[in-house]
Amino acid sequence: MEKIIVSILVIGLLSTSSFASITALEIDCDKSEELEITVNTNAEPFDGYILFTPFWGTNTRLLDKNKKVVQSWFSTSLGLDAYLLENGNLIRPCMTINSYFPGTGQTGRVEMLSKDGKVLWDFKYSNEQHCLHHDIKPLPNGNIIMTAWEKKTNDEAISAGHKPTDYTEMWPEHIIEVKPIGSNRGEIVWEWHVWDHLIQDYDPTKENYGNVGDHPELIDINLAGFLHDDWLHTNSIDYNEEFDQILLSAYGFDEILVIDHSTTTEEAAGHAGGNSGKGGDILYRWGNPQNYRAGDGHDRKLLGQHDARWVESGCPGEGHITVFNNNNPRFSERSSVDEIVPPVDENGNYDLESGSAYGPEEPIWSIISEEQYNFFSRHYSGAQRLPNGNTLICNGESGHFFVVTPDKKLVWDKKLVWDIRVPPYFFKMSYYPPDYPGISDLSIDIKSSQISSFSSQPSTTQQSAPATTTFATTTTTSKSPINLLASR
């Protein structure tokens, strides 16, 4: 029986220090609750593999289309997500408790594992001034882009044009590109800071003063955001190699943002340079035009979204953007997966009529969580377009993966169940085709994994999970409780 050892953290506050007790639980990969397949199951739902990590789990699994685990990676670190590299190694954002940034989705570390679970690289970016959180993305050049918070004091925020508040600090977003070096070092070869691209119309005596509506390429520092400190709460990052651009999901703004990665770090801090000629300014934004005074609440398209990503080359809808719209504002208590066609030309420039909102007006394709497909998820979750035109969807709050056709027919699904009868949370998942270089490097028995049945029996090629896993209690000094399980 294939099981995943998952860790649950309980964070409490004792006097001036907090403690984290870690308990190992198991997810049964063979046990599943499956929906009724509504079309011919002989149809090919997808050809390839699904990579997933339980929420703050220590293990990562690769699942084939027959619902068999064909590869496992075991770690002593608590991870949020994982990506398979072309050489078969695994890279995953991991937790390091940083009491200076007690926000949801805090990671602080990135580790690289060999296919047999050996730690090849362990990079930490976590101190009093900055901390990694949520997502990462491997680049074609071997580097990794990472989302991170940086600390700004209340005085710095007011100087930048923020309205006076009782809060003591803000954690604006910045992106770093890291070149791995050795076993635990990394060179930051590029970075972008949202703090360099602000606008405000509150105080003409402060920095960044201007007409917010005239500058959709800038972020209004007085937007409410997710929390005052964890402002953007960026929960996903993706990369477009054709245009050399980065896509961010700004949960706090109910918006997706595109920035230019072709700039130098110096250009990324300004408003000129790079392929776009706009430096590090926002090239495109969609989901909530009231953020730049081009609409109101009725024009909002996204609410609490996750996993914004470009449709990959070779897939139907190539270059479009898909996003898991957790709390679709058009419906009550409904999630959706939306596909939009950004108004971009062949050079990566985005069309915007002055005074208007960025298009499109509506998604070109959307599936809504309704009675037949009840995948409502307030947090987490994701979706990915597959090469055959189907769409893989992950309900992160119920541990349910499923595949639908372009006409929204269910053709494949898998729901993992905890032994303790509570949902196994998943941040998101990733699909890899059978010819992906990292798959062949794993020496998976491709012939065995191509059996036409939808068997849930465990693969003979997988590694054996340890019978028991023991975790040490971690103690750290903290200013406030850290809610790691509530990560959005």
Sign, CA torsion 345/347/350/353: negative
**Pick from 307, 301, 413, 409: which is nearest to 364 by CA?**
301
Alpha-carbon gap, residue 247 to 284, rounded angstroms: 9
| For range 90-112, the mean pLDDT | 95
The answer to whether 190 touches 261, Cβ cutoff 8 Å, is yes
Alpha-carbon gap, residue 270 to 174, rounded angstroms: 14
Cα angle value 445/451/457 (rounded, 5°): 80
Note the pTM of the prediction, 2 decimals. 0.86
Question: pLDDT tens for residues 228-244?
Answer: 789 999 999 999 999 99
DSSP code, position 213: G
Q: Which two tokens mark 484? A: 């790691």
Q: Does the N-terminal peptide bond of residue 437 adopt cis geometry, omega within 30 degrees of 0? A: no
The answer to whether 152 touches 169, Cβ cutoff 8 Å, is yes
**Pick from 99, 98, 96: which is nearest to 111 by CA?**
96
Task: Name the pairing type of β-strands 144-150 and 108-113.
Answer: unpaired
Residue 249 pLDDT > 80: yes
Q: Which two tokens mark 432? A: 């890899």
Mean pLDDT (the chain) is 84
Helix or strand (DSSP H, E) at 446: helix 446-449
Alpha-carbon gap, residue 413 to 271, rounded angstroms: 46
Architecture in CATH of 3-477: 7 Propeller (2.130)
Question: pLDDT tens for residues 10-32?
Answer: 333 222 233 233 333 444 555 44
Q: Which amino acid is at 261?
A: H
Cα angle value 263/340/344 (rounded, 5°): 40
Percent of the chain whose pLDDT exceeds 70: 80
- pLDDT reported for residue 467: 29
Task: Name the pairing type of β-strands 17-32 and 3-14.
Answer: antiparallel
Residue 7 pLDDT > 70: no
Report the DSSP beta bridge partners of residue 356. Answer: none
The answer to whether 4 touches 54, Cβ cutoff 8 Å, is yes
Query: Could you tell me the residue ranges of all domains in the chain?
Result: 3-477
Residue 288 pLDDT > 50: yes
Question: pLDDT tens for residues 416-444?
Answer: 876 554 557 899 999 999 999 999 878 67
**Pick from 157, 95, 161, 167: which is nearest to 131 by CA?**
95
- pLDDT reported for residue 225: 83
- pLDDT reported for residue 35: 44
